[in-house]
Amino acid sequence: MSFLELTGIQKRFGEVAAVADFNLAAERGEFVSFLGPSGCGKTTTLRMIAGFEQPTAGTIVIDGADVTRRPPNRRNVGMVFQSYALFPNMTVGGNIGFGLKVRKVSTDKVKAKVAELLTMIHLPDKGDRYPYQLSGGQQQRVALARALAIEPQVLLLDEPLSALDAKIRVALRKEIRSIQRQFGITTVYVTHDQEEALSLSDRVVVMSEGRVEQIGTPAEIYNFPATPFVASFVGTLNLVNAKVIEAATGRLSVAGQEVVAAKPISEAHDGGSVTLALRPESIELGEGGGSNRFHGPIEDVSFLGSIVRMRLRLDGTDGPTISLDTFNDPNLNPPAIGEIVTVSFPRESSLVVGAGTKPEIDVVAEA
Amino acid sequence: MNQPKRSRLVWWVVFLVGVSYFALPLLGTFFFSLQAQPIYAGYTNILKDPGFYNSLLYSFIVGLITIAVSILIIVPTAFWVRLKLPWLRPYIEFITLLPFVVPPIILVFGLLNTYSHPPFRLTASNTGSDVLLVAAYVILSFPYMYRAVDSGLRTIDVRTLTEASQSLGAGWVRIMWQVIFPNLRVSILSGAFLTLAIVVGEYTIATFLGRHAFGPYLSLIGGNKAYEPAAGSLISFGITWIAMGLLTLIGRGSRQRVQVAGAR
């Protein structure tokens, strides 16, 4: 039996299904992220685990105990909120020790535990400060320490870094992961930031419109997206219109150039239209990148620091374009604009999604 | 004169007119109180009168009890409405505004009619009448206390603080006592002092219930003395201002601790 089990979880608000048939089994000590756009139901699901929302159907089991109908103050689930939710009237030490005092832990033990946690979050001398005297990053660390002080069975984090600037976010998420590993607490992390989800998690649950699109490791989600939504939401993507030459063998025609998809095509019959999805980093300049090839003039070269992004037009002046990313090599000059080049990519990276699939975010090229 | 200077001047004029509206009657009362012979006789006479202290003390005690009862009713109600029943807020607001609509004379006649007969014959005893007086004042305090508390609840993220407390194992009593009340301290004090000012100055209900409160005392001595009521009003006004000053001092410390989420 898994440590945290959500079975058939549904949540309806009137006629609206905020969460539909959510199933998850997380092991002890596992770090699971809920990833998806705003309104997809990830926070609602988290709140049901915490007990702040009651599921319309389904069960939540933690360490073998059904907590579905248990009030939130009896679940022993620690939570870190997006707005930190530190008690303004208490010092940092008072905030961290609050849960322990509720549990009637002795004053000496509270003091010792608070000191230990303050050291862990690198704020050993801030115990007497008030939350308003701390920076955002410091406040979030205190919020984390407060949630950990009660030694919860499950740790829930609801977009805890979204209010912080980029540099602090990166530093703090490493700290969160390190602390989580140290404590070995089963953790559920809600975010709309792919980089956070992919870099932190043992597994990622990608959600859309209240439904689970895919559950898998970060590598599985990124490299083998199970649905068009996952393909377009996670990472950057080229989406180009393609005509099916032979569905059984996966042969496609893109702007008159033939390629072969990773799998036989089920989305359309011979002569039908589909969308070909390609990651920019899976395409190589030259013929050594795989059996699929595209030819065309270079239309644009963008220097992005460690990455150089090139855009290639496949057909005439109005035809579709695709983008490819290569590592910046100071010893190699990229092709000139207008230069006809060949790019190649493996069959395995050639994903077919339904015709007219709309991207969620970060589409590199589209036709 | 350039535009910013002109608008500053206009605002100063508006401010002075507003201050004059409140200050001139007080100044008039003060100068009137000095017309006694000798000049401070109005003040010395009233300060020598045991009735002054007894009635003021009685009003203050009733005021404090009113504040306590009002807080115990209003704070949990406003908190629960904001947290769980936001659709009820307009109705609660309407109810708390009723004291503005119903004159005290109507209120007290209603109370007398209801509570001077069995089974709730409260007017037959002093204690019963005191209870009625407190109850009436609690109703009169509703608009001030509710608005003050509701404004305070708006400045804190009630829902998230409550959920944070619950996730740490706290029950409702602890949440109210250790999280909500302390963060509403300034608002509660603001409502409390407004309530105190109303109670100390109230006349109609105290008179009809036969209570020796400060309002009826001032009216009584005004019947045969000219300057002492003016002096007594100014003294009670001064006491109220001292109380407001204390509120400002206490509030200055608390204001710094309002939570602001997000990076600094």
A35 backbone dihedrals φ, ψ, rounded to 5°: -120, 135
B231 backbone dihedrals φ, ψ, rounded to 5°: -65, -45
Residue B263 has pLDDT above 50, yes or no: no
How close does chain A come to B155, measured CA to CA in Å? 11
A269 within 8 A of A243, measured Cβ to Cβ = no
Query: Considering the domain boundaries, does residue B38 fall inside one?
Result: no
By C-alpha distance, the chain A residue nearest B171 is A73
Which of the 8 DSSP states describes residue B86?
Answer: G
Residue A305 has pLDDT above 60, yes or no: yes
Q: Could you tell me whether strands A363-366 and A16-26 are parallel, antiparallel, or unpaired per DSSP bridges?
A: unpaired
Instruction: Give ipTM to 2 decimals.
Output: 0.80
Q: Give bridge partners of residue A322 from the DSSP assignment.
A: A312
Residue B218 pLDDT class (50, 70, 90 cuts): confident
Query: Considering the domain boundaries, does residue B262 fall inside one?
Result: no
What's the pLDDT score for residue B260?
Answer: 40
CB atoms within 10 A of CB A83: 21
Alpha helices in chain A (DSSP H): 42-50, 92-102, 107-120, 136-149, 166-183, 194-200, 218-223, 228-233
Query: Considering the domain boundaries, does residue B209 fall inside one?
Result: yes
Query: Considering the domain boundaries, does residue B22 fall inside one?
Result: no
Interface residue of A49, A73, A126, A168 to substitute, partner B, most B CBs within 10 Å: A73
**Chain B CB within 8 Å of residue A148 CB:** no
For residue A238, which of A336, A298, A335, A312 has the smallest C-alpha distance? A312
Residue A355 pLDDT class (50, 70, 90 cuts): low
By C-alpha distance, the chain A residue nearest B263 is A136
Distance of alpha carbon A190 from alpha carbon A238, whole angstroms: 27
pLDDT per residue over A139-189, tens digit each? 999 999 999 999 999 999 999 988 888 888 888 888 899 989 999 999 999
Interface residue of B155, B160, B167 to substitute, partner A, most A CBs within 10 Å: B167
CB–CB contact A83 B171 (8 Å): no
For B122, the 3-state DSSP assignment is: helix
Q: Give bridge partners of residue A62 from the DSSP assignment.
A: A4, A65
Query: Considering the domain boundaries, does residue B8 fall inside one?
Result: no
**Chain A CB within 8 Å of residue B187 CB:** no
CB–CB contact B259 A135 (8 Å): no
Distance of alpha carbon A79 from alpha carbon B44, whole angstroms: 64
**Chain B CB within 8 Å of residue A73 CB:** yes
For residue B226, give the CATH number of its domain: 1.10.3720.10
What is the reported pTM?
Answer: 0.79
Tokens of B244: 């407001």
Tokens of B140: 């009169």
By C-alpha distance, the chain A residue nearest B160 is A85
Q: Which domain holds residue B79?
A: 51-251
How close does chain B come to A210, measured CA to CA in Å? 23
CA angle B11, B12, B16 (to 5 degrees): 120
- As a whole number, mean pLDDT of residues A125-140 equals 94
CB–CB contact B259 A99 (8 Å): no
Query: Considering the domain boundaries, does residue B108 fall inside one?
Result: yes
Which of the 8 DSSP states describes residue A291?
Answer: S
What's the pLDDT score for residue A354?
Answer: 63
pLDDT per residue over A98-129, tens digit each? 999 999 999 999 999 999 999 999 999 999 99
pLDDT per residue over B11-38, tens digit each? 999 999 999 998 899 899 999 988 888 8
How many domains are there within chain B? 1
**Chain B CB within 8 Å of residue A135 CB:** yes
Query: Considering the domain boundaries, does residue B226 fall inside one?
Result: yes
Partners of residue B263 in chain A, C-beta under 8 Å: 135-137, 163-165, 168
Query: Considering the domain boundaries, does residue B223 fall inside one?
Result: yes
